[in-house]
């Protein structure tokens, strides 16, 4: 039976550390603030935003929500980002994705100032992750690396297989594992013989957005399995990209859904926001 990697517990530890840093900045007369933009009424996005706001309150970060209607134009959204870029009282800017279909995400991401890009989605910040010289890390991959560290899992020399190649999780995840001296294979929808590759993984990270895609016969005995997916199953219950019931008996360690990767993602977002405040105040 696999050991569960408790993301909730780890996130509380990270948030406690963040709260200490926020308090130190407050004592110097510096407040830490995060602007969160949400467009439309996507229920999942609303849940994520509410969770981020609660986490901000917990650690003493000021949270500013900008809830825009579904029919917001590209120009209106860009104007708001320009205004937030110019505000010295805003340290971090987060635009909740996905945006409604009529809006283009790319210029939105590129317009947010790199020093306020606490999601680390801007091409410049992505480039810094690529070369290993970064100030901000993509939140989900950063949280996963913290999970591995907290469990004493040494990435060095391990075969790490990442299933998924998104700019948000898959690609930066591969770069962080590579930086930690893992041997990395990236798989995606066009990969042939996926099962043969995933069965070679010492550390398997899955982020594809397909419910229970990874089955027991796709995992090596004793592998560490990190499930970054969040989906609804046929009974409308939350589940990951990994078929937990099948994979858990084979894994040595595994993340649950919910309660695994998700909480650490939010914790790392707030850590990035503190980093942004420190940079902007030349500390």
Nearest-angstrom CA–CA distance, 170 and 162: 6
Buried residues in 155-172 as b, exposed as e (16+ CB within 10 A): beebbbbbbbbbebbbbb
Count the residues in the chain. Answer: 283
Task: Report how far residue 236's alpha carbon sits from residue 220's, in angstroms, rounded to the nearest whole number.
Answer: 29
Question: By three-state DSSP, how is residue 186 classified?
Answer: strand
Active site positions, annotated: 52, 96, 119
Helical residues (DSSP H) of 60-208, grouped into ranges:
74-86, 105-111, 123-131, 139-150, 170-179, 194-198
């Amino acid at each position: 039976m696999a050991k569960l990697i408790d993301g909730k517990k780890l996130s509380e530890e990270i948030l406690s550390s963040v709260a200490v840093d926020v308090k130190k900045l407050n004592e110097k007369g510096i407040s830490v603030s995060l602007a969160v933009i949400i467009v439309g009424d996507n229920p999942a996005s609303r849940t994520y935003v509410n969770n981020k706001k609660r986490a901000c309150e917990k650690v003493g970060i000021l949270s500013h929500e900008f809830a825009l209607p579904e029919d917001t134009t590209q120009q209106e959204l860009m104007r708001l980002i320009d205004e937030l870029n110019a505000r010295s009282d805003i340290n971090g800017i987060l635009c909740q994705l996905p945006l409604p279909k009529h809006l283009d995400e790319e210029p939105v991401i590129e317009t947010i100032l790199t020093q306020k890009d606490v999601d680390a989605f801007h091409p410049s910040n992505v480039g810094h992750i690529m070369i290993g010289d970064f100030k901000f890390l993509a939140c989900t991959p950063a949280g996963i690396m913290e999970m591995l560290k907290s469990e004493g899992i040494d990435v060095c020399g391990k075969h790490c297989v990442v299933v998924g190649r998104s700019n948000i999780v898959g690609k930066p995840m591969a770069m962080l594992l590579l930086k930690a001296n893992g041997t990395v294979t990236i798989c995606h929808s066009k990969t042939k013989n996926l099962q043969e590759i995933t069965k070679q993984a010492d550390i398997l990270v899955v982020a594809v957005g397909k419910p229970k895609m990874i089955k027991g016969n796709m995992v090596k005995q004793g592998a560490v399995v990190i499930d970054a997916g969040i989906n609804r199953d046929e009974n409308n219950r939350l589940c990951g990209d990994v078929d937990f019931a099948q994979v858990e008996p084979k894994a040595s360690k595994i993340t649950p859904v919910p309660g695994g990767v998700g909480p650490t993602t939010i914790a790392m977002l707030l850590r990035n926001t503190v980093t942004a405040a420190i940079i902007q105040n030349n500390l």
